[in-house]
């Protein structure tokens, strides 16, 4: 059975269970919170080993062929271009299909969410570089930096490094198969995640005030990922059938939506990139690491749309164009700073927008949408992972790192 079919069946079963359970039961929510934590832990279990060893070999091989820096620059330019496009489209969509206002309620601000960029930068270079391998598996950028320096070091003297290169190459392949095993059982894991998602969704649909933003984000994400992004592939030379790439990305898309977590989706995204698209490890590992770290424009775009809805809920005047541009630019900047937040990116981005806009009068605005946070995160992660899949394929295809696969052989 195809992996994406297993994931779809697991999601449907979980959603059916979730919609049948009482959404107002606090005991059920507590049980699902524990099960979600366990499920996400299982999904992230092999992420650090497979990322470290595959990225190390990718850096080594690209350096060996003198292609590393050109690949990094091309990936970064693509990430910036895609981020500008997606965030701009999201803001334009709110002008043409503006969601209704949400009644403002006074809420007590118990905890302030914010980006701590200074601490994130410090954590990239801990006193002991091996300590990044023993972390929680949440903040993966320091792990990528470790793999970068290790891969660069392997090129120093290849005669001495040859045994180490062989060992790291073998470990990369071993942990790839370990991660593949976990991706095979993701269908069962998604039963839990989709059931918890459905329980929460069942609760918020009863709150009519969120209906417009739910529909708007859902429709826009479908149009973006199943319409606009495939059309962009028509500009790729040589020409490729975009619907085949879309079909090959269904597994990671389903996983990202119900988990809301980028790190959880990395093993299955890496496997689909290799076994569906035939992307070589040297290109796929580098692009996956860069896109997972810096291309979080889907989450930032969702946050920008939600923030515009919050502003319109506070005031009854139209938002000036200059303010919309300012929101877009700040959302773009925030999208590059969400590496530490793989599982709550959209909500953290929304909090950052609220805290830094208009002198602070909207600083508690994100609390209005707290019941909807899981939905915002799900849509954001879904778009982020789809962009990761498409971007990884585009970079590999453009640089001739693809071995074409027959769609009948897709996993």
List the domain boundaries for the chain.
3-409
pLDDT, tens only, 319-355: 888 888 989 999 999 999 998 899 888 999 998 888 8
CA 109 – CA 89 distance, rounded (Å): 32
- Is domain 3-409 classified as CATH 3.30.1360.10? no
Its sign, for the CA torsion 376, 382, 388, 394, is negative
User: 161: which residues sit within 8 A by CB, 6+ positions away?
Assistant: 153, 154, 155
Phi, psi at 219, each rounded to 5°:
-65, -45
Q: How far apart are CA 265 and CA 249, in angstroms?
A: 11
Average pLDDT, the chain: 87
pLDDT at 183: 84
CA dist., res. 290 & res. 287, Å (int): 5
pLDDT tens-place string over residues 190-209? 999 999 999 999 888 877 78
Model confidence over 212-256: pLDDT tens digits? Answer: 889 999 999 999 999 888 888 877 766 778 888 888 888 899 999
pTM for this entry: 0.92
* 8-state DSSP, 295: -
Measure the CA–CA gap between 391 and 291, rounded to whole angstroms.
Answer: 8
Convert the pLDDT of each residue in 49-98 to its tens digit: 999 999 999 999 999 888 899 999 999 999 999 999 999 999 998 888 87
Tell me the mean pLDDT in the region 292-310: 92
Q: Compute the Cα dihedral for 275, 279, 283, 289 and give only its sign.
A: negative
């Amino acid at each position: 059975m195809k992996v994406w079919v297993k994931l779809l069946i697991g999601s449907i079963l979980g959603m059916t269970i979730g919609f049948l359970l009482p959404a107002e039961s606090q005991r059920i929510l507590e049980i699902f919170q524990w099960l979600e934590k366990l499920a996400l832990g299982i999904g992230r279990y092999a992420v650090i080993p497979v990322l470290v060893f595959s990225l190390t070999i990718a850096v080594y091989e690209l350096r060996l062929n003198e292609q590393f820096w050109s690949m990094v620059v091309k990936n970064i330019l693509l990430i910036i271009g895609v981020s500008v496009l997606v965030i701009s489209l999201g803001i334009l969509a709110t002008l043409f299909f503006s969601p209704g206002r949400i009644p403002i309620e006074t809420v007590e601000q118990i905890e302030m969410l914010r980006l701590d960029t200074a601490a994130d930068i410090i954590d990239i270079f801990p006193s002991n570089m091996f300590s990044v391998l023993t972390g929680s598996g949440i903040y993966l950028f320091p792990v990528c930096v470790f793999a970068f320096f290790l891969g660069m070091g392997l090129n120093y003297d290849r005669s001495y490094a040859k045994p180490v290169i062989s060992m790291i190459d073998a470990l990369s392949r071993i942990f790839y198969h370990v991660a593949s095993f976990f991706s095979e059982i993701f269908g069962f894991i998604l039963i839990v995640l989709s059931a918890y998602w459905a329980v929460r969704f069942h609760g918020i649909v009863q709150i009519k005030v969120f209906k417009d933003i739910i529909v708007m984000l859902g429709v826009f994400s479908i149009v973006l990922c199943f319409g606009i992004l495939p059309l962009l592939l028509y500009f790729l030379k040589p020409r490729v059938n975009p619907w085949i790439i879309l079909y090959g990305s269904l597994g990671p898309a389903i996983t990202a939506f119900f988990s809301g977590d980028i790190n959880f989706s990395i093993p299955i995204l890496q496997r689909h990139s290799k076994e569906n698209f035939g992307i070589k490890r040297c290109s796929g590992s580098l692009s996956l690491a860069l896109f997972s770290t810096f291309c979080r424009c889907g989450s930032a775009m969702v946050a920008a749309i939600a923030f515009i809805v919050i502003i319109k809920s506070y005031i009854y005047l139209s938002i000036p164009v200059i303010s919309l541009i300012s929101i877009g630019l700040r959302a773009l900047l925030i999208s590059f700073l969400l590496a530490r937040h793989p599982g709550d990116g959209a909500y953290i981005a929304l909090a950052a927008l609220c805290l830094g806009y208009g002198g602070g009068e909207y600083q508690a605005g994100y609390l209005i949408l707290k019941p909807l946070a899981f939905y915002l995160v799900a849509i954001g992660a879904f778009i982020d992972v789809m962009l990761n899949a498409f971007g990884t394929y585009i970079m590999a295809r453009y640089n001739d790192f693809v071995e074409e696969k027959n769609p009948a052989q897709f996993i």
